[in-house]
Amino acid sequence: MAGTLALAEPFKVGVCYDLSKAYTFATPQVSQAAMDVAKLINMQGGIGGEPVEVIVRDHGNEPQRGIECYSRLSREGVFVFDTLSTPVSLAILPRAMEDGRILMQSLVGRGDAVDGTVFEWVYPVGPTYWGQMANDIRYIKQLHDDDLSDVKIGYIYFDYPFGQEPIEILKTLSQKEGFELLLYPVPLPGSDQSGAWSKMRRDNPDHVISWMLGGAHVVASKEMQRNRIPMDKYISVNWLNEVDIANIGAEAATGLKRGTNVVGGQDVPLRLEIINKLYDEGEGSGPLVNTQDVYYNTGLAMYSIIFEAARRAADLEGMPITAESYKKGLESLENYDANGLMAPITVTAEDHGGGGKTRIEMWDGETWVPQTDWIAAYGEVVWDVVRESSSKYGE
């Protein structure tokens, strides 16, 4: 047994993350989840009888160091990468496409990469910001008895690509559904939003969709209180976690909503299993408090998918897993929800995003309450934008 283990090449994932600069609001939780999932799998006998490994490295959100991480790990036989950083993901993408290595980029990077016919090696499994926005609008439509004709929707966003991306889809849907769209750009890092919110008070939109991160949510909540805008109008992008809720104040945040592709809260089966088998035994990969955060659940979802695909690759094509067989494994995922952890995903050769389902959850003062089922709305509209954008790649 020892001999075969020594010869075996374990399945490795290159986790090149920004653990020291801009993305530290989420990377510690996500990387900890990655290591915990790997530990759990290894306790249960690994994949194809061999242990799996996650290699976590810091790139400080610098494209140059991300490329270095990618090249270095590639030489060590890694062919599945995750960056959780848009600039680094963009920098690695041309190389991964050229070298035929898998680039996972859930929730970051260019959204049009869900188009598998163009981006053969890139897998943004999970919702794109376009899909997530379409689902938010679907939710609002549901609130107004399927009629948006005299509804005003405000959109407050960071005025750079992350926040600008969904505007196109909003405009298309506004024409299609007849709602009035009001745009409120906010300069980075979102600490000054007073102008946007006092304008919002005059315009008085029925709902406010927010594409901001971290501390900017807290600033927004203060401005909302100042301008007497009720909290239940606020629908956040998936980047809003327990730390933000604590900073806003659990009481004050009541009624606030967010779109998400993972189940929030701590009663998730996979998390409970990890707490039980790892943390209770003192074997956890980091502090327990990191696991009480929705980004930990996000990480569990991302890495459950990554390892499930490896398991399927081993079942389909046997060991050792190669980039090609791994690709087949990913594309065989059908209605996979990691035991009730996230929106079910179905990855195909055309749709690398897995269907883009999300749901809306509301904070009730103590916990997150789902407001919808897992939905993927306006598929045609979203895919039109995707194809229009992806067709420009490599021109």
Partner 1 sequence: MFYRLSGVYHSSLISDSRMFKVPADRNLAVFLLLIGLAAPFILPSLYLNSYILPWLIWTAAALGLNLVTGWAGQLHLGYAAVMAVGAYSAIHTVRLGVPWEIALIIGGLAASVIGSLFAFAALRVKGLYLALTTLAMQFVMDWVLTHSPTISGGSHASLQAPTLALLGQQITSDAGYYYVALGWCVLVTIFMLNLKRTGLGRALVAVREKDFAAAILGVNSFYYKILAFAASSFIAGVSGALLVATFYFLAAPEQFSVNVSIQVLAMVIVGGLGSIIGSYFGVALILLVPGLVNGLVVTASEELGMQVNVETLAHIPNAVYGALIVIILMIEPLGLGKLYGNIRDYLMTWPFDQLRK
List contacts with partner 1 (CB under 8 A). Answer: 19-20, 24, 27-28, 31-32, 35, 56-58, 60, 62-65, 67-68, 71-72, 75, 86-87, 90-91, 93-95, 109-112, 159-161, 164-165, 286-287, 389-390, 392-395
What is the total residue count of the chain? 395
Alpha-carbon span 173 to 181, nearest angstrom: 9
85 and 63 Cβ atoms separated by less than 8 Å: no
Q: How far is the CB of 69 from partner 1 (least distance, A)?
A: 8
Q: How far is the CB of 81 from partner 1 (least distance, A)?
A: 15
Q: How far is the CB of 356 from partner 1 (least distance, A)?
A: 16
Which is closer to partner 1, CB of 24 or CB of 346?
Answer: 24
181 and 207 Cβ atoms separated by less than 8 Å: no
300 and 268 Cβ atoms separated by less than 8 Å: yes
Which is closer to partner 1, CB of 110 or CB of 327?
Answer: 110
Which is closer to partner 1, CB of 206 or CB of 384?
Answer: 384
Which is closer to partner 1, CB of 75 or CB of 202?
Answer: 75
Token match 């600490």: residue? 191
Percent helix / strand / coil, the chain, rounded to 5: 45, 15, 40
Q: How far is the CB of 142 from partner 1 (least distance, A)?
A: 29
Q: How far is the CB of 293 from partner 1 (least distance, A)?
A: 14
Q: Is the dihedral of CA 318, 37, 42, 88 positive or negative?
A: positive
Which is closer to partner 1, CB of 29 or CB of 135?
Answer: 29
Nearest CA among 335, 268, 253 for reference residue 298: 268
Which is closer to partner 1, CB of 112 or CB of 244?
Answer: 112
103 and 89 Cβ atoms separated by less than 8 Å: yes
Q: How far is the CB of 64 from partner 1 (least distance, A)?
A: 5
Tokens of 234: 């606020």
144 and 172 Cβ atoms separated by less than 8 Å: no
Nearest CA among 269, 259, 129, 159 for reference residue 207: 259
The 10 Å CB-count burial string (b at 16+, else e) for 333-365 is: beebbbeebbbebebeeebbbbbbbbbbbbbee
Instruction: Return the DSSP state at 251.
Output: T
Q: How far is the CB of 91 from partner 1 (least distance, A)?
A: 6
Element (H, E) at 181: strand 180-186
Which is closer to partner 1, CB of 79 or CB of 336?
Answer: 79
Which is closer to partner 1, CB of 164 or CB of 371?
Answer: 164
CA 28 to mean position of chain CA atoms: 15
Token match 């926005």: residue? 133
Q: How far is the CB of 15 from partner 1 (least distance, A)?
A: 9
